Structure 1
């Protein structure tokens, strides 16, 4: 099968960890099919850089992936071009898509990426498969939501990372349940596994007697990071050896760096890290926290458990599909006091690392196989024969 993948959630020069779960899926897919990736990037004027994320222009000479990939750009302005970004994305990828001559187009991130990919798939008369990750289907602004509806309803198959997102797609967007496929994320057990905490702490410069809380993800308010900073201050009044490391980057970076400058807060920013370094931080930690307002299927929690670390999170989205009371404490989002109490409770409890690490064994190869099955279903439903020699 010749599979064209369209997604902006993909490694970018200067942001090599971007879209890590999708990247891992596609690397395995490329072992089972002929895969080409088009990663459209919105190109903003220097005077109008968006505040919602840290924009970096693509560098065609930077080797950020071993996959066959191209990073087409399209012009954009924050908020102003949002209603048109899907059409601009379609125009940016059209020539490359036509030249590749795919059997199926698969797009991750519903708007504008999948919107543009759907238009191109219609022009090429090939099946279209869309993948929803979480916040792309939990859309807040009315314009993006209206433009997301035809993508969700019109996809030959809709891939979601949790049953919760599948329910949302059907109930709120009118997706055909027969076309929805739940494909949960995997975990690379060669990277994320139990290892010696003392050795990891020595390598990372963490005190042996520290009570280390770890956060891994984008530095954005929606991840509950302001509440985490407040909770940490409360926690340190009763557990003064508690400290928190944030692994990642994002719009809140300057604000969090200012908080970290005060030693009383016990906060440290480690920046974005590749997967092996994230695993080492997890080995060094006592627990991993993700106090988000919303989530899809948070891979960081799967990886934390694989490393034998308990979790403090919120019961939003697909989180309850990943953790339960045997491995986590869940608190309401936006509640710093409850978060502080949960952190204290998890730090005070003895956890069975071996039992935690055995909860998940799903590999990225399995994720890729399920994804390819959905693409084959879309192809078969169209009645379009797969070309010989393209498997």
Structure 2
């Protein structure tokens, strides 16, 4: 079976750490079928000459195609209009896809990942060529983007017309039904983890490997350093935690718009706050192994893979009650759920979790499966969709 995947959430040689969840699932999916990826990157005329927008200028030098994670990847120069964005994203995306219609004709099915504009564009593109389509949704595409009137209007008209939909969490399946999708067309395929990396490990040995010392308790956060990830609430909560337990440290793994604020805090916290920036997946696994507690107090989420990875590592999680996080932490042995945007509640939960004795084996049992299992479930949806069309 030949599958053509269309998505903007995929790494490239200039952003190798981007979207590791898609890279890992696609890497396993490619072992089950003939997979080609059309990776959309923003294209703005003169961006390379002017340097603006910054990301479009940076990615302008990418070649027409690369091999990423062993997968043939073609770059779609997605036409983008700064400060207009959402209302014109779909027609511009479709225009950018048209040069790749031969690839689509040679495929048995088109897979779009990210609801808008990628999934909507994949559906329209596939239908124009008589091909079946499947759209996979991830979280913020429904929790955030679908609340924008222009995007929601397109989603309501197009997503119910795709052959099948894949959701990574039950709350997202319910949102798809709210957009008019038939319940029978929605398939729950949970994300997996790389179980060769994320597994229970000796905490002290991991800390020695990182060179951070074995003393005290360590809380780890991994994600973009930005307000939407609950960073302000986490920093405020950490101040409250430190007032009660001065031996606790916090490691913020990631990069983003709040990095300067984080660096300023690091400089005045005497080693209590650690911010090593964005790290490769293998090192993230070591940080998770080194921690006593993982936290993700986001304002919006789908099913965040960092939470699944922490559970697979036998580490308890304190997460906010948004998206698929409560679904991940449904078993009380796996962690605590707190209201989003509430620094006080977050501080109390962090202290409670640090004081509790957790069973790593029970946490692992409550956690996710492997990426191999996840990819096989996605492959089954693709095969059944192709067979149904035939």
Structure 2 length-normalised TM: 0.92
Q: Is the 8 A contact 2:27 2:69 kept in 1?
A: no
Between 28-37 and 68-77, report the one with greater CA deviation.
Answer: 68-77
1:217-236 correspondence to structure 2 within 5 Å: 217-236=223-242
Is 1:194 the counterpart of 2:200? The answer is yes
Aligned mates of 1:82, 1:22 — CA distance in 2: 23
User: 2:140 is paired with a residue of what secondary structure?
Assistant: coil
Pick one of 77, 80, 95 that aligns with 1:91. 95
Measured after TM superposition, the shift of residue 91 of structure 1 is 2.1
Which residue number in structure 2 is paired with residue 237 of structure 1? 243
8 Å contact 1:13–1:57 — kept in the other structure?
Answer: no
Distance of 1:247 and 1:97 partners within structure 2? 40
The alpha carbon displacement at 1:48 in A equals: 4.3
- Find the residue that maps to 1:116 and give its secondary structure: helix
- Pairing of 1:5-154 with structure 2 (within 5 A): 5-44=5-44, 45=47, 46=50, 48-49=52-53, 56-57=58-59, 59-60=62-63, 64-100=68-104, 101-138=106-143, 139=145, 140-154=147-161
Residue pair 1:130, 1:151 contacting (<8 A) in 2 also:
no
Post-superposition, which runs of at least 4 consecutive aligned residues in structure 1 deviate over 6 A? none
Q: Distance in 2 between matches of 1:361 and 1:166?
A: 18
Q: Larger deviation: 262-271 or 246-255? A: 262-271
Judging changes above 3 Å, is the alpha-carbon distance between structure 1 residues 370 and 231 closer, same or farther for their aligned structure 2 residues? same
> Is the Cα contact below 8 Å between 1:48 and 1:77 reproduced in 2?
no
Q: Aligned to 2:165, which of 158, 161, 169? A: 158
Give 1:265 shift. 8.4
Counterpart Cα distance in 1 of 2:57 and 2:283: 23
Please give the alpha-carbon distance, in whole angstroms, between the structure 2 residues aligned to 1:186 and 1:82: 30
Q: Equivalents in 2 of 1:64, 1:180: separation in Å?
A: 29
Deviation of the 1:64 alpha carbon = 4.6
Deviations 1:191-233 (A, max 9, x none): 1011111111112121211311101112221111110011111
TM-score after normalising by structure 1? 0.91
* Contact residue 39 and residue 71 of structure 1 kept, 8 A: yes
Question: Any conservation in 1 of the 2:328–2:367 contact (CA below 8 Å)?
Answer: no
1:335 maps onto 2:337 in alignment: no
Q: How many residues align?
A: 380
Q: What is the SS of the residue equivalent to 2:187?
A: strand
Structure 2 residue runs without a partner (length 5+): none
Further displaced range: 331-340 or 151-160:
151-160
3-state secondary structure, aligned to 2:59? coil
Gaps of 5+ in 1: 385-391
Cα distance change of structure 1 residues 351 and 55 upon mapping to structure 2, 3 Å threshold = farther
Given that residues 66 and 72 in structure 2 are in contact (C-alpha distance below 8 angstroms), is that contact kept between their aligned partners in structure 1? no
